[in-house]
Amino acid sequence: MTDQAFKLRELINENSPEKVQIGDARIIAISSGKGGVGKTNFTVNLGIALSKLGKKVTIIDADLGLANIDILLGLVPRYTLTHVLKMEKKLSEIVVEGPNGVSIVSGGSGVMDMVNLSQAELSRLIESLEYLNSESDYILIDTGAGLNHSVLSFIQAATELIVVVTSDPTSITDAYALIKNIGELDVSVKVVVNRVESNREGQDVFSKLNTASSKFLDLELENIGYIYEDYNVKKSVKKQVPFLIGFPNSLASRGVELVAENLDRNSKYVAPNGGFSSFIKKIFKK
């Protein structure tokens, strides 16, 4: 940890120890095999739920798809991580404040090429992440769907992965393919089943995925919860207001809050040497 971060932490602990603790962030990639299963909605609302638990959260939008975080929140970030890598902006200038104090960083096209960065760009990326790490308890990375290079780089760098899946059979097989491809790595794999009609349905989907990966990949998955099919999600997307804010008592909001509580309670699956230092090591290793 940098001296500055240490001082900041001390200062904050002195002033409001119960409120916010700033430390080594948990770096969680959020991904799915198939697109359109609800990753971005989940990421944004999970960020808000964690922030309601008193955590400092930064979301990195590393997905260049259309329905991205900015659109979901009605924010118009002018600058992205790409501007930072090109030295046109400082990281502090590109961070946008989202709902409930959640910080949003847009990846821009630069993040697609993380492994092809020049040495100078890489150091700037690391500096930026170090800053984010000192400012956050959680860094959530919305990676986009599928098995492309950038998605895998982010997952490999993170210490935890949340796979979002629905009961749609192709979503399950694609989630399995994703897990199979990252299975060798030192990340803990957590599963959220989205758009369920009952807890039973969520349990069934989780079991299918977990049975296959335990049997064929020798990898035990962690069930961190289910989110119900809820019309309020669609309404909140239209209004560009996250459902945890617009419909705090909805079924979907309750589901995400339970996931946040599960996640926050349970840190035992985090690699012991996880956190920022391992994130950087893993990026450098490649």
CB 140 within 8 A of CB 46: yes
Provide the CA 81 distance to its chain's centre, in angstroms.
16
The closest of 91, 186, 89 to 129, measured between CA atoms, is 91
**Does 145 engage in binding with ligand ATP (CB under 6 A)?**
yes
Our CB check for ligand ATP shows the closer of 45 and 210 to be 45
Q: What is the DSSP letter of 132?
A: H
Question: Binding pattern to ligand ATP, positions 182-221, x when CB under 6 A?
Answer: ------------xx--------------------------
Restricted to residues 233-252, the positions that interact with ligand ATP (CB under 6 A) are 233-234, 237, 252
Q: What is the DSSP letter of 146?
A: S
In angstroms, give the least distance from the CB of 143 to ligand ATP: 9
Residue closest to Mg ion (Cβ): 40
Q: What sign has the CA pseudo-torsion 167, 171, 176, 178?
A: negative
Question: For residue 91, what are its two tokens?
Answer: 């990281």
Our CB check for Mg ion shows the closer of 32 and 153 to be 32
Whose tokens are 């979901």? That residue is 72
Nearest-angstrom CA–CA distance, 95 and 111: 15
**Does 133 engage in binding with Mg ion (CB under 5 A)?**
no
Nearest-angstrom CA–CA distance, 271 and 275: 8
Size of the site for Mg ion (CB under 5 A): 3
Q: What sign has the CA pseudo-torsion 140, 141, 145, 146?
A: negative
Restricted to residues 53-72, the positions that interact with Mg ion (CB under 5 A) are 63
Applying CB under 6 A, the span of 60-68, 75-83, 108-116, 267-275 interacting with ligand ATP comes to 60-68
The only residue of 26, 39, 190, 282 in contact with ligand ATP, by rule CB under 6 A: 39
* Collapsed DSSP state (helix, strand, coil) of residue 76: coil
Nearest-angstrom CA–CA distance, 147 and 273: 26
Long-range contacts of 277-286 (CB under 8 A, 24+ apart): 277/24, 278/159, 278/186, 279/27, 279/129, 279/157, 279/158, 279/159, 280/126, 280/129, 282/156, 282/157, 283/114, 283/122, 283/125, 283/126, 283/153, 283/157, 284/122, 286/115, 286/153, 286/156
Size of the site for ligand ATP (CB under 6 A): 22
**Does 107 engage in binding with ligand ATP (CB under 6 A)?**
no
The only residue of 5, 37, 155, 189 in contact with ligand ATP, by rule CB under 6 A: 37
Applying CB under 5 A, the span of 39-47, 94-102, 216-224, 252-260 interacting with Mg ion comes to 39-47
In angstroms, give the least distance from the CB of 35 to Mg ion: 7
Per partner kind, with CB cut-offs from 5 to 8 A, the member of ligand ATP, Mg ion, none near residue 58 is: none
**Does 40 engage in binding with Mg ion (CB under 5 A)?**
yes
In angstroms, give the least distance from the CB of 66 to ligand ATP: 7
Per partner kind, with CB cut-offs from 5 to 8 A, the member of Mg ion, ligand ATP, none near residue 24 is: none
Which positions touch ligand ATP (CB under 6 A)? 32, 35-41, 63, 65, 67, 144-145, 194-195, 227, 229-230, 233-234, 237, 252
Which positions touch Mg ion (CB under 5 A)? 39-40, 63
